[in-house]
């Protein structure tokens, strides 16, 4: 099956945590459902332009069988009568990268390959889109998802798809990366129809980090009397029953807060372990903002 998907995307891997992923944006409805394919410890694929959807699952199957990115690309393109209209990029689990831009892809079209990544697009305003994506990807610190989104944002800022904007998506997989640790689906976010999809996608990635990210030691602060008072007043305002001793972070307060955390889907950032006399500053600032809590510190 082939569908015209005129877009810009990036496929990449990160050897630090064995993650691979795809980020994509386009003037096309639900572009992520067509372009992006990834499997942990196997690789990632972007199929676009006059996209052949079968390149995704079949390409991943070949990668899983041990073929390199370049071998898979050669096999898919050489056996495709519509290769001149296709755009395809592949990164394998070993960091190998290969890409193809057919001579009949609509201008401007091209790809840009670097270490562990490939940026590609068609019907772009020009090569500056890929240049900006590459520069942002290689210079951005942080995990693969943040670097992929930064690349999309940079490409979008210099013009991106020359027809306009509609959708954007990101998928990142890594061993045990899924919620609960029993799947590889670390991040799978889509903005299917929006006036500013790349910006919206960036916001979703930030929310993913908030709700599914784990607290780090450097962000943990002691729940002292002032913070305990702040949290207890928030809980009482939300209808939770806390002990009368406002300012004392007692067992009743912990249990009420745990119920509240479950309601807000923040359980990955706060668990009752031992005395649990600390709170993640990222969570605290989020709660202050959302519930207009008074910062007593």
Domains of the chain: 2-212 (3.60.20.10), 217-291 (no CATH)
Average pLDDT over residues 159-176: 89
Q: What is the mean pLDDT of the chain?
A: 92
C-alpha span between 140 and 92 (Å, rounded): 22
What pLDDT band is residue 295 in, cutting at 50, 70 and 90? Answer: low
Which of 69-73, 221-225, 262-266, 268-272 ranks highest by mean pLDDT? 69-73
281-291 helix and 197-212 helix, angle to the nearest 10 degrees? 120
Output DSSP code: residue 184: S
CA 20/CA 59 separation, integer angstroms: 15
Kindly tell me the burial class for residue 106, based on how many C-beta atoms sit within 10 Å of its own C-beta (0-12, 13-18, 19 or more): middle
pLDDT at 268 over 90: no
Q: What is the pLDDT of residue 114?
A: 97
pLDDT value at 145 more than 70: yes
Confidence of residue 294 (pLDDT cuts 50, 70, 90): low
Average pLDDT score over residue span 243-248: 80
Q: Is the pLDDT of residue 70 over 70?
A: yes
146-149: long-range pairs with CB below 8 Å, 24+: 146/205, 147/12, 147/14, 148/10, 148/12, 148/21, 148/22, 148/23, 148/172, 149/23, 149/198, 149/201, 149/202, 149/205
User: How far are the Cα atoms of 62, 66, 270, 277, 285 from residue 9, in angstroms, in the given order?
Assistant: 22, 25, 35, 44, 33
Q: What is the arithmetic mean of pLDDT over 212-218?
A: 85
- Looking at residue 297, its pLDDT comes to 47
d(CA 89, CA 9): 9
Long-range interactions of 70-76: CB distance < 8 A, separation 24+: 70/96, 70/98, 72/98, 73/98, 73/99, 73/100, 74/98, 76/52
Question: Are the beta carbons of 207 and 201 closer than 8 angstroms?
Answer: no
* Stretch 12-27: mean pLDDT: 96
Instruction: Give the best-scoring range by mean pLDDT among 71-75, 154-158, 159-163.
Output: 71-75
Contact 175, 208 (CB under 8 A): no
Predicted confidence at residue 293, as pLDDT, reads: 60
Question: Is residue 102 classed as helix, strand or coil in its secondary structure?
Answer: coil
Q: Is residue 97's pLDDT more than 70?
A: yes
Per-residue DSSP letter, 17: T
| Pairwise CA distance, residues 97 & 123, whole Å | 23
Q: How confident is the model at residue 6 (pLDDT cuts 50, 70, 90)?
A: low
Distance of alpha carbon 41 from alpha carbon 292, whole angstroms: 43
Residue 237 φ/ψ, nearest 5 degrees:
-65, -25
């Amino acid at each position: 099956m082939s569908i015209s998907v005129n877009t810009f995307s990036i496929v990449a891997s990160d050897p630090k945590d064995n993650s691979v992923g795809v980020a994509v944006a386009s003037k096309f409805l639900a572009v992520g459902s067509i372009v992006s394919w990834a499997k942990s410890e196997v690789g990632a694929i972007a199929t676009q332009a006059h996209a052949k959807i079968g390149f995704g699952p079949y390409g991943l199957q070949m990668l899983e069988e041990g073929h390199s990115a370049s071998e898979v690309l050669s096999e898919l393109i050489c056996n495709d009568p519509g290769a001149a209209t296709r755009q395809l990029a592949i990164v394998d689990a070993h960091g190998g990268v290969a890409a193809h831009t057919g001579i009949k892809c609509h201008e401007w079209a091209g790809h840009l390959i670097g270490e562990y990544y490939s940026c590609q697009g068609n019907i772009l305003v020009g090569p500056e889109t890929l240049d900006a994506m590459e520069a942002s990807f290689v210079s951005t610190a942080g995990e693969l998802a943040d670097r992929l989104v930064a690349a999309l944002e940079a490409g979008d800022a210099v013009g991106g798809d020359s027809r306009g904007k509609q959708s954007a998506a990101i998928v990142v997989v890594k061993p045990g990366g899924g919620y609960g640790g029993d799947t590889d689906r670390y991040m799978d976010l889509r903005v299917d129809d929006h006036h500013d999809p790349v910006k919206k996608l960036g916001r979703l990635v930030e929310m993913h980090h908030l709700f599914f990210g784990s607290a780090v030691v450097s962000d943990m602060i002691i729940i002292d009397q002032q913070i305990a008072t702040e949290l207890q007043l928030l809980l009482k305002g939300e209808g939770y029953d806390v002990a009368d001793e406002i300012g004392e972070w007692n067992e009743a307060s912990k249990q009420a807060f745990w119920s509240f955390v479950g309601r807000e889907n923040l359980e990955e950032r706060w668990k009752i372990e031992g005395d649990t006399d600390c709170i993640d500053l990222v969570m605290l600032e989020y709660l202050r903002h959302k519930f207009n809590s008074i910062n007593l510190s």
